[in-house]
Structure 1
Amino acid sequence: MNLKEKILKAKLPSDPTTTQTIEKLRQDVDEEITEAFILMGLHEKLESVKLAISKAPSDQPLDHNLKEKVDKIIQEFNRNISQPGAYLGLKQKLEKLNTVNKLIELKEKSEKLKAEINEKVPAEVKEKMKLLKNAQEKLSKGDSLDEDLVEEVAKAKQQLIDVLKSANLEIIGVTKRTIANSSPPPPELQEKIVNANEEIHKEIERVISSSKGISTKIEELKEAIREGSSPENVEKMEAEIKEEIVAALNSEELKEKVESLQAELSSFMETTIEEDNKVPAENGRW
């Protein structure tokens, strides 16, 4: 298992072995950066600036002349290290460390989101989710549901939607499924739904095209499916890709549009959801 997989699989805080590996990488980078400064003839300038900064008042902005010296040292360092074929080992370790930091940040965001969801979704609701999953599996196998189970599934579905609303975790996927089984929304609302989904898809496509890591993972997922990889492995790879896409999505304007659309949909859903829950799930989908 490589370092990347260890970080993504480990619970926070990471296991001691992973933490030691990351710390060793950081120490190696620090040492090699120091060596690079010495080889570039910048070490004395760097030490002089560090001394001046340590003596400067911490409660005041950095002196303009001192800031210029710092900027010049950084520019010269970056210019030297960016030369083709120069400091390849250091550049590789810097890139690896940057990847590690991003993975740790992604993992922290993921753990925080899971904790928030677990806090907002009580054990009783998790049982309802399990019930829905089991019913859907039965339908996918061609098995029929008895009347009591159909009624229980409908109640569980309604309770889940109510919880998602109250926890502010409602998503367009839930809304679309709800509307699909009831009367269609007005044309102007349908148009807004289509436009919102198009913007979401475009934003996701932008994130994928601009992230080499996500694009690579998608290709790895396609290859795994072609090679007949296990469903568990495929599901795990899909989950990792979704996590990275969600972490990379950062459009406040898009978020505001979606939230505005959800607000409009909520009033429409309230008038149709009661009728929707009386109808058994079609083809095992909700």
Structure 2
Amino acid sequence: MNLSIVIPLLNEEESLNELYHWIADVMQSNGFLYEILFIDDGSTDDSWKIIRTLAETHPEVKGLRFLKNFGKSQALHAGFAVAKGEVVITMDADLQDNPEEIPELYEMICKDGYQLVSGWKKKRYDSVVAKNLPSKLFNLAARKTSGVKLHDFNCGLKAYHKDVIKTIEVTGEMHRYIPVLAKNAGFDKIGEKVVQHQKRKYGTTKFGMERFIRGFLDLITISFISKFGKRPMHLFGAWGALMLFVGFCFALYLGIDKLFINPGGRLITDRPQFYISLTAMILGTQLFLAGFLGELILRSKKGGRDYIIKEDLNVHD
């Protein structure tokens, strides 16, 4: 199979039929062997009913339905797990991503040798204050922090070689940072393509300012994980050793001063250096313990998933 198209969605009943036919026209005109995976992230409208109808009449349509709204990252994780294509395309269900970009994205993976290609919505039709300006600030911070030189981390339209999506783990709200996860996993052939952005035709955006706050917090998390996720002792142990060294130096100074320099002076416990030394040693010990616990957890953790699938359509055929 050439292509798997993974589409996470939440309450997009008005756009699904139009989106399917648009994708199908592009796929058939280019001769692709393809599947379309709709991942219903707990919709409360008739989205699943429409997906069921499409799956009954079109065998290339497959669906997964979550028990409740678990989030876009979990929807992508579930879609990646069952995707069968050599190239996997992700896109949003709101008709703002243009399926006519897919053939060129496919060529960039198959012929140009990219392992991941991210769309860049250079010209956007979103609100400048609510989305465009925060998005630019977010992308700037992501580039500087991660070292991945993309203009638009948030673009839902991306193409992946199958090895990428079968290797990385998209959890929490890390869907924004899939290129960073891919780079950290060793997939460094990451490209970018300017893609056409469409005005929203139906419904309202699910994107709020709180998602940017969570996005920046996730950026800090992934920066930490990328550097120390597999060796937490390197971080906590280094800080622990530094604090213990500081505490030992103060203790040594107090001991020498009391024994040899000023034996008749104040009690050691009356001096502020004593409490600095004590605090530093306690913190150093705690940091060492945090590093040991992190290493133990890392070595004993078992894989799992943090979503529940309620129904599926055609995915095991």
Short-chain TM bin? under 0.3
Q: Which has the higher strand share?
A: 2
Q: TM-score, length-normalised on structure 1?
A: 0.24
Q: TM-score, length-normalised on structure 2?
A: 0.23
Q: Which has the higher helix share?
A: 1
